[in-house]
Amino acid sequence: MTNLEQLIEELCPNGVEYKTLGELGKFYGGLTGKSKDDFTGGNAKFITYKNVYSNPALQIDVADRVKIVDGEKQRTLQYGDVIFTGSSETPDECGISSVVTAKTDEKLYLNSFCFFFRFDDIGIILPDFAKHLFRSNNLRYQIGKTASGVTRFNVSKKPMENVVIPLPPLPMQSEIVRILDNFTELTAELTAELTARKQQYEHYTYQLLNFDDTVQTHRLREMIHFRNGKGHEKDIVSDGKYIVVNSKFISTNGEVKKYSNKQICPLFVDDILMVMSDLPNGRALAKCFLVAEDDKYTLNQRIGAFHVKDESVIKTKFLLYVLNRNQQLLKYDNGVDQTNLRKDDILDIMIPIPSIEEQERIVAILDRFDTLCNDISEGLPAEIEGRRKQYEYYRDKLLTFKELSK
């Protein structure tokens, strides 16, 4: 008998109590009344949307700052608070959670695109248990059901009050945390190694794609045909013929997919696709994807498609690397407002055009780095994906409890 099985037998053989969030605490919003100037030269720690979305346990050692004046009435985060992202392109991506698992004397101010839940009695749930619980499949399903919207989905505080969570005894919570943290620590080690590889990749990308004045540059509009995507929201199905290319598909390198049986905006081999809209400080803005097959994809709104006019002038793969997260486009992200790149913003950027031989040399080098860092079929990404699936399996298994009869 495992330690957990023994705890179940001793503490809750007949099941565990379930309660709604509305019974357990209250929801609160983030910062209000701020302008983009308040996020320059600030004096207080600021928790970004990206921090919440990316971290089950909130990162509180951050450099982001916001201006807070003496006597200003703004809510701050506390140990044990559960934070949720407010919106996404898909309902199942709304309400991603992050938990304040570390104690601090510093005040933490939350961005206005998120909101948080505070337990009336922090003693009923371990914050480290909550970080796993609120990202489990059961909780994600419940939260997704509260989302509303058409082109962009939002979750709000009132519907979230009906989300139901289990409350096993604290010794059980502690044992589950021990087991699941072991999985995440192994993944963290691999992720740290992959991060180092990606930094190396970024370094070489910068070095290889920065040219002196001897290399000619031309505006992007001179070298490509451009077209915009179209809305597919009413035509999304669970398992359609075509993959709908949206920002989530591109930002996850094709891992997260939506489908449609209508090819409203067809895509073709060697089309370069770019995310044109993202939240402040997001990692998707100007991220690119190269189409490798005909009759497989359809282009969603807020995504642009480029096709090279003349491969004898510039190679598609070289242009892909130049455009991907191009600094000339990232400058439009002010860190406060949603960024929406205009067609002309994109088409007016300057593109270096070295010799075809030099383009091919650069592509060969960057292709090797790209495979090492991003190909989920081999190398570190494949191993990390395997660990992630193993963790999710045990997380959902361990966080499924028999409900105590009332």
- Domain-embedded: residue 235: yes
- Domain-embedded: residue 274: yes
Number of domains in the chain: 2
Q: How far apart are CA 371 and CA 378, in angstroms?
A: 8
Residues 45 and 156 in one domain: yes
What is the predicted pLDDT for the residue at 57? 97
Query: 319 near 356, Cβ under 8 Å?
Result: no
At 329, which helix (H) or strand (E)? helix 327-330
What is the predicted pLDDT for the residue at 377? 63
Residues 342 and 279 in one domain: yes
Residues 155 and 24 in one domain: yes
Backbone φ and ψ of 159, nearest 5°: -60, -30
Residues 159 and 48 in one domain: yes
Out of 131, 166, 201, pick the residue that ends a domain: 166
List the structure tokens of 201. Answer: 């990749």
Residues 42 and 155 in one domain: yes
Residues 222 and 349 in one domain: yes
- Domain-embedded: residue 369: no
Residues 25 and 155 in one domain: yes
What is the predicted pLDDT for the residue at 1? 62
Amino acid at residue number 313: V
Q: How far apart are CA 388 and CA 368, in angstroms?
A: 24
- Name the nearest CA neighbour of 132 among 395, 347, 400, 402: 395
Q: What is the DSSP-derived secondary structure letter of residue 6?
A: H
- Domain-embedded: residue 275: yes
Residues 6+ apart with CB under 8 A from 74: 31, 32, 68, 109
Residues 233 and 313 in one domain: yes
Residues 106 and 238 in one domain: no
Residues 27 and 162 in one domain: yes
Give the domain range for residue 331.
216-353
List the structure tokens of 296. Answer: 């497989």
- Domain-embedded: residue 382: no
Residues 155 and 61 in one domain: yes
Out of 166, 187, 208, pick the residue that ends a domain: 166
Q: What is the CATH number of the domain that holds 273?
A: 3.90.220.20
Out of 129, 144, 166, pick the residue that ends a domain: 166
Within 48-178, strands assigned E span 65-66, 82-85, 87-88, 97-99, 108-110, 114-119, 148-149, 153-154, 164-167
What is the predicted pLDDT for the residue at 376? 61
149: three-class secondary structure by DSSP: strand
Query: Would you give per-residue pLDDT tens digits along the chain (406 residues)?
Result: 688 889 989 999 999 999 999 999 999 999 999 988 899 889 999 999 999 999 999 999 999 999 999 999 999 999 999 999 998 877 777 899 999 999 999 999 999 999 999 999 999 999 999 999 999 999 999 999 998 887 788 898 999 999 999 999 999 999 999 999 999 988 888 888 888 888 888 898 999 999 998 999 999 999 999 999 998 888 898 889 999 999 999 998 888 899 999 999 999 999 999 999 998 888 899 999 999 999 999 999 999 999 999 999 999 999 999 999 999 999 999 888 899 999 999 999 999 999 999 999 999 999 988 887 777 667 778 888 888 899 999 999 999 999 988 7
261: three-class secondary structure by DSSP: coil
Query: 298 near 244, Cβ under 8 Å?
Result: yes
Residues 36 and 139 in one domain: yes
Give the pTM.
Answer: 0.65
- Domain-embedded: residue 181: no
Q: Alpha-carbon torsion 185, 190, 196, 198, what sign?
A: negative
- Domain-embedded: residue 380: no
